Amino acid sequence: MRHKSPETTESLNMQIAKILAELRSLGSDRDRAGMARYGINVQNAFGVSVYQLRVIANRLGTDYKLALGLWKTGNHEARLLACFVTDPALVTERQIETWAADFDSWDICDQATTSLFDQTAFAWTKAVEWAARGDEWVKRAAFALMAGLAVHDKKAGDKAFLALLPIIEREAWDKRNFVKKSVNWALRNIGKRNRALNDAAIACAERIRDAANERAAGPRGGDTKTRAARWVATDALRELTSQKRQARL
């Protein structure tokens, strides 16, 4: 993306209004309903696909002030667009915390973390900090960050990811659907990074599974936390030990 020059507040507001009008014209009730079926919060959404938003983002270029303004609108698509046009180098810790506190849907959480936050200087710190938070979306963001870092941070060594596995093991017992799915996502992505991390992730998943089975006195049943942990582990093991994955490694 190309960078845009600074704009006055008036021209920026006009640009945001124009973008919102364009987004409204691209949306539809049918697409909003489709988003809702996938568990997306459509209360403030027009019904525009991420593909279309990416096209718009490429046209707009990188524009930090525009991104801040788009986010403040509260519109679902505008906030997704903000994640795509923000300059990661300019993102502050305060901004990350503010945006995370605004998360109200899994897609915004995931796009913010894996299209923006994981490229900032605060990614690793927030992944660890947020894993201990109680808020559902912030906690999901922690593990989405881990999943994003496993794919996008090519310079990080195995030691950095190995340090995340005890956190994954600790939080695999969260029964909330959006949290447990992100814990599983982080575990799988770390295990797909290379052979050594695959072995470590498999061992982590096995420990989680065995602990869940011990707690339930068997491989089935148990309370909601136990079932969540078992699912996180068994689903990850299914992919990480598959012939296809092992062949790629």
224, two tokens: 């909601």
Instruction: Tell me the C-alpha distance between 88 and 113, whole Å.
Output: 11
pLDDT value at residue 10: 80
Q: HSE on the CB side for 165, CA within 13 Å?
A: 24
Q: Give 123-174 pLDDT, tens digit per residue.
A: 999 999 999 999 999 999 999 999 999 999 999 999 999 999 999 999 999 9
Reported residue count of the chain is: 249
Domain ranges of the chain: 1-90, 103-249
The pLDDT of residue 130 is 98
Q: How far apart are CA 210 and CA 59, in angstroms?
A: 50
Residue range 171-196, pLDDT digits in tens: 999 999 999 999 999 999 999 999 99
Count how many Cα atoms sit within 13 Å of the Cα of residue 106 in the half-sphere of its side chain: 16
State the alpha helices, DSSP H only, in 153-191: 158-162, 165-171, 177-191
* 102 close to 133: Cβ distance less than 8 angstroms: no
Residue 3: predicted pLDDT: 54
* Residue 7 scores a pLDDT above 90: no
